Structure 1
């Protein structure tokens, strides 16, 4: 129901963009190379950096930092290949970008809140958790922006397949982190949730990108929703 409603809403609110969506416009080989480098380097680097107490939310510290570093490596990789997102970001209509992002966040939050509030998931956190949602948002933005830019508008292939392949690299990176550090075995518990988020928001984001020609509203919206859900649901440990 949510996906159908979102599909229809995007159809009526956004005129179909006549050009290809923004993106790094890299060939498949470069996309795979950048994704592989980020997937391998992220857990290797974090193996030597204590990040377990960055946030007072159980489990979330390592995940948030992993997302952040992975995304930064994607952005560094695309920039090194001559496809920096900065020129595109400077030309954006930020009114449309933020408006589209807020629409996505509001819809998902209201639907999830209405459906699950009295069952098993509280998506409306107490006030003391809200600042941590903003911190999480800042940490999550590099990944979603970097991934959207990397997989958008491939030079010789389907961006849809690139999106899912890039997510497989990220899941592989988390599994590699567990292999390197057994203390991160809790990742197995949250993997199903991450997969669900990739599928649900991947479909919603692709529709929004298709209509606007701009991958950044979906990227920022997904980062905001995920940050909000983590802040609302993960237990406080201090």
Structure 2
């Protein structure tokens, strides 16, 4: 067993080293520095100081600058000054989103103003030649389309995963629409926008005037479209035609290396867990009747109990409801387990729970923050994370106990996870308008279960107790949600 652990550790470290080397090599030859836009965090990527066209890059809902880095690096290597920034309420922008999200003159207008401010700041620099294009993903696609209609300086638009009612047959000027093949309705919307110019047009055709093109990136969805080589090449070629820039050379394909890095970090947790002392399992399996009660009753009761409750404490979209949901859900489950005599004291919970949380947040989370999306909070999010801990820790404790720290049969572990996701689904169905943003955050929760749950299971099976797993993963879950939800001041 010790030899196998060493072999796996060496292989994981090799994967981490190779992927980090490759990801850092993508930055070679570029100047990457902060751009002063007041409170808006912005980064410029460029190769040299000679004047060049500017491309302002905007992320989607719950995204950040890091998520758009494949485009920033590819365009910078092609001779542009690529300027990426964090919208209000996102990433490390300390200013919350505000305004009425249902009105064009509300939140949309405020976000357009941010795009305008970044554009102004970029064009004022000596490395800008006065020409500018806008590129945006998902939520930002509508923002940049509307901004292009008002800002005569914008000469081209690249809208990724676009949905915008502002697109007409005549505007915006020079529009490229990139959509993942698996994006369904958004793919249909891309074709509709293309056919406003030419009713007989199809994907991959350039029509106009005004110049317009819609492209499906093969075999990708809403996030994968940002890493697709097709997306990167099409964006570079479209801007190159408009600005007379080169469209040759390799594009920055980071998706595979990021997966290798995160996979290496996840796998490394197994040999590291071997450093913990082996301990016999402290308790027998939970009786089947108690298991079903503690798994299903909270899933049904919690959304019904909270349905009429108006709970607005945190300056973050639906995070206060999710925190309360986890608190009630975990509290009910722990109460059932306590009545059945299942709960035990465990003095190792703080030590090994802290180690697990440190690895998840500092090591794995540090890699996410560097290469994927913002994971390190600004000061304003610390209080949000602390409040979410009040719900996340009880919930994850109940999850860990019902899953026996990862040692329970797989059907039990699946039931526990699906019951919680189903409970959130019921809550959204009861109040779709108020809780619809929970649907957007569900992939984060599923990813958490898949990656951090795997690492927690290795620790739990090694030390023979679920309590450190529940505490550690509760802290990681609260942190993950606290840095992902957009901050919003209504």
Structure 1 residues 28 and 132, CA gap change in structure 2 (3 angstroms): same
1:108-127 correspondence runs (5 A): 108-127=360-379
3-state secondary structure, aligned to 1:117: helix
In 1, the alpha carbon distance for the partners of 2:472 and 2:396 equals 9
The one-character-per-residue Cα deviations of 1:20-54 (angstroms, maximum 9, x if unpaired) are 2547x422232123211111100000102112x12
Runs of 4+ in 1 over 6 A off after TM superposition: none
1:75-154 correspondence runs (5 A): 75-80=334-339, 82-85=340-343, 88-89=344-345, 92-93=346-347, 96-152=348-404
The one-character-per-residue Cα deviations of 1:171-214 (angstroms, maximum 9, x if unpaired) are 11111112222222222211111111111122111111111112
Q: CA RMSD in A?
A: 2.2
3-state secondary structure, aligned to 2:486: coil
Any unmatched runs of 5+ in structure 2? 1-263
In 1, the alpha carbon distance for the partners of 2:373 and 2:291 equals 36
Structure 1 residues 158 and 49, CA gap change in structure 2 (3 angstroms): same
Asked if residue 43 in structure 1 is aligned to residue 284 in structure 2, the reply is: no
Q: Which has the higher helix share?
A: 1
TM-score between the two structures when normalised by the length of structure 2: 0.43
Determine if contact 1:6/1:204 at 8 Å carries over to the other structure.
yes
CA radius of gyration, larger in = 2
Q: How much does 1:84 deviate?
A: 4.4
- Counterpart position of 1:7: 270
Asked if residue 20 in structure 1 is aligned to residue 281 in structure 2, the reply is: yes
Q: Which has the higher contact order (CA 8 A, sep 6+)?
A: 1
- Counterpart position of 1:172: 422
Q: Which has the higher strand share?
A: 2
In 1, the alpha carbon distance for the partners of 2:488 and 2:292 equals 38
Structure 1 residues 99 and 79, CA gap change in structure 2 (3 angstroms): closer
In 2, the alpha carbon distance for the partners of 1:202 and 1:73 equals 21
- Counterpart position of 1:54: 313
